[in-house]
Amino acid sequence: MLLSVNVFVSLDGVVQGPGNPGEDRSGGFDRGGWLVPHASAHTDEIVRGWFGEAGAFLFGRTTYGLLGGHWPNVTAPGDPIATPLNTLPKYVVSTTLTDEQAAWTPATVLRGDVIERVRGLKALPGKELQVHGSWKLVQTLHRAGLVDRYRLLQYPVVVGAGKRLFPDGATPATFAATDASTRALPGGVVSLTLTPTALGTPAAGAYTVDGGRSTTVLD
């Protein structure tokens, strides 16, 4: 399975608490709900498309609990988000969650070597193994080079504080836009679909003058 990370992000890279003021107050965060005023039929269409590609879900414990407190209550037949979330396999990375506590079924708690467990899941046939939210888990997957695709909805907001998708000290990487869904939506939200092309310090270059003309030179 291809592993994709699907997140909402602000202009300054914040991914914390986009959908509700009380969604994630860890670290004293008090600016949640910043996405909601900018949601639209256009962003809804993009998100429904994300979930249409899902074959299974991979969560950190916190996101599993947050989503599991909401989506099982959405029982409308054929809901394009609730249906896959409530019926497809869910894998939860946790060292403390018990099998009995993983009540949003079908769910499997992943313990032990997370990297190897995720590699095993990726080797399975099927559609995408999708990560939503799960900030700490995303950092682990990124460092290990396990993410095949990033889907971002970037909102025209500077939050000014909170967890960032790629915080200081993140593993350097280079990406390529590979999908027609990479575009600006009405209202200023930008949909990005990115494929990692390399981990490590990005290639560099410089601008110089050659024969009276500005020229780029790559290292």
Helix, strand, coil percentages (3-state) for the chain, rounded to 5, are 25, 30, 45
pLDDT confidence of 180, banded at 50, 70, 90?
A: confident
For the chain, percent of residues with pLDDT exceeding 90: 95
How far, in Å, are 40, 109, 185 from residue 181 at the CA level? Answer: 16, 33, 10
The pTM of this model reads 0.93
Q: Give the Cα separation of 207 and 215 in Å (integer).
A: 6
Q: Given this model, what pLDDT does residue 170 score?
A: 95
Burial class, 211, CB count within 10 angstroms (exposed 0-12 / middle 13-18 / buried 19+): exposed
Q: Which residue bears the tokens 């939860």?
A: 92
Taking Cα atoms as reference points, which of 159, 147, 166, 129 lies closest to residue 50? Answer: 129
pLDDT in tens, 95-131: 999 999 999 999 999 999 999 999 999 999 999 999 9
Q: Compute the mean pLDDT over every residue in the chain, rounded to the nearest whole number.
A: 95
Cis? peptide before 72, omega within 30° of 0: no
Taking Cα atoms as reference points, which of 199, 174, 3, 197 lies closest to residue 93? Answer: 3
Q: What six digits make up the tokens of 175?
A: 């990406």
The domain segmentation of the chain, as residue ranges, is 3-218
pLDDT above 80: residue 181: no
State the architecture of 3-218 in CATH terms. 3-Layer(aba) Sandwich (3.40)
Instruction: Name residue 153's amino acid.
Output: L
Q: Given this model, what pLDDT does residue 19 score?
A: 93
pLDDT confidence of 178, banded at 50, 70, 90?
A: confident
